[in-house]
Amino acid sequence: MKSYKESGVDIEEGNRAVQKIKNIVKSTFNENVLSNIGLFGGFYKIDLNKYSEPVLVSSTDGVGTKVLVACEMGKFDSIGKDIVNHCVNDILTSGAEPLFFLDYIGIGKLKSENIESIISGMAEACRENECSLIGGEMAEMPDVYDYGKFDIVGTIVGIVEKSDIIINKVKRGDILVGLPSNGLHTNGYTLARKVLLKKFKLNQYIDELGSTLGEELLKIHRSYYKVLKEILKRPSLHGISHITGGGILGNTKRIIPEGRELKVKWDEWEWPTIFKLIQSVGGISEEEMRNVFNLGIGMILIYDRNHMDELLGYLKAIGEKALIVGEII
């Protein structure tokens, strides 16, 4: 073996990928981005005139084994959107608005066209969430990832006025308002795949779903930024939980102060079909389904019960379906 390429790492293909994504990445830049891609770090200027006490909020996450569905389906742009939206939702729970995003792609065999598709999805999601994609890393590692397999990690940085941070505000009597998910989002895929792929193929059309199984499983993780950005500073908003791994209880308990509990009204909404299918095919208990999946609720707002009319009126006006799913006791 005489070359890096023969050992499994193709530098030229990596360079081709960079050239393909340059203009895509630049499409997310705004006046605060001071650097071009290709440097060792990204530069982002903060307008301090907009804040008295600005606080940076950051989060890092991945999309889990959903990438295996993308690989088998040969569709990669939606995975790029997933990781951006997931990270944006995480910092929204603190009241922060996104500033910039960075990505990491570890892959067994780099194909520039697949990288281009992933980054195109990321860039589209960044534009939709009004943030910039200012840097990233591609690592071709055939000894770590099998041929055709890859992983994605994203990091988001946002900003919030210190006085507007949504923390330690939850009180007894607050109402839990659920915002609908768009399917599994990016959690529970290891269980879902093991259950469903024993009976169905990804390209198999399933009448109950109205689509192929693969299309259903690749539905994009919703971003709630446009829904929430106008209400993040409302004093009546006491908490936000992003319903990811751990379900409604596991995630919402994270923001509940000691001495308070959740009372979830599980019968107030109907599970989307994909969750019913997973439970029936896998023979999974109700408790396990609640612990693993979002069950159709992607974000929960904890709101002052005395100001519910204003919240529900706003959500209705923007066409967002809201469900009352419980309260704080």
**Per-residue pLDDT tens for 280-311?**
999 999 999 999 999 999 999 999 999 999 99
pLDDT of residue 14: 79
Token digits of residue 229: 């950005």
pTM, 2 dp: 0.95
The whole-number average pLDDT for the span 103-120 is 92
Q: For residue 1, what pLDDT is reported?
A: 59
Judged against a pLDDT cut of 90, whether residue 313 lies above it is answered with yes
- Band (177; pLDDT cuts 50, 70, 90): very high
- Tokens at residue 322, please? 């809201």
How confident is the model at residue 202, as a pLDDT?
Answer: 97
Mean pLDDT score of the chain, rounded to an integer?
Answer: 94
- Backbone conformation region of residue 111, classed left if phi is above 0, alpha if psi is from -120 to 50, else beta: beta
Does 173 score more than 80 pLDDT?
Answer: yes
Q: Which of 198, 101, 196 is nearest to 156 (CA)?
A: 101
As a whole number, mean pLDDT of residues 69-80 equals 95
Q: Is the pLDDT of residue 241 over 80?
A: yes
The amino acid sitting at 233 is K
Whole-angstrom distance, CA of residue 188 vs CA of residue 190: 6
Q: Does 232 have pLDDT greater than 70?
A: yes
Residue 6, pLDDT score: 66
What pLDDT, on the 0 to 100 scale, is given for residue 16?
86
Q: What contacts 240, CB < 8 A, 6 or more positions away? A: 92, 93, 95, 166, 228, 255, 299, 300, 301, 302
pLDDT value, residue 110: 86
Q: Answer yes or no: are the C-beta atoms of 85 and 142 closer than 8 Å.
A: no
Q: What is the mean pLDDT of residues 67-96?
A: 97
pLDDT higher than threshold 90 for residue 38: no
Specify the higher pLDDT residue, 287 or 146.
Answer: 287
Confidence of residue 19 (pLDDT cuts 50, 70, 90): confident
pLDDT-based confidence at 40, cuts 50/70/90?
A: confident
What integer is the mean pLDDT of 255-261? 91
Top mean-pLDDT range of 18-27, 144-153, 276-285: 276-285
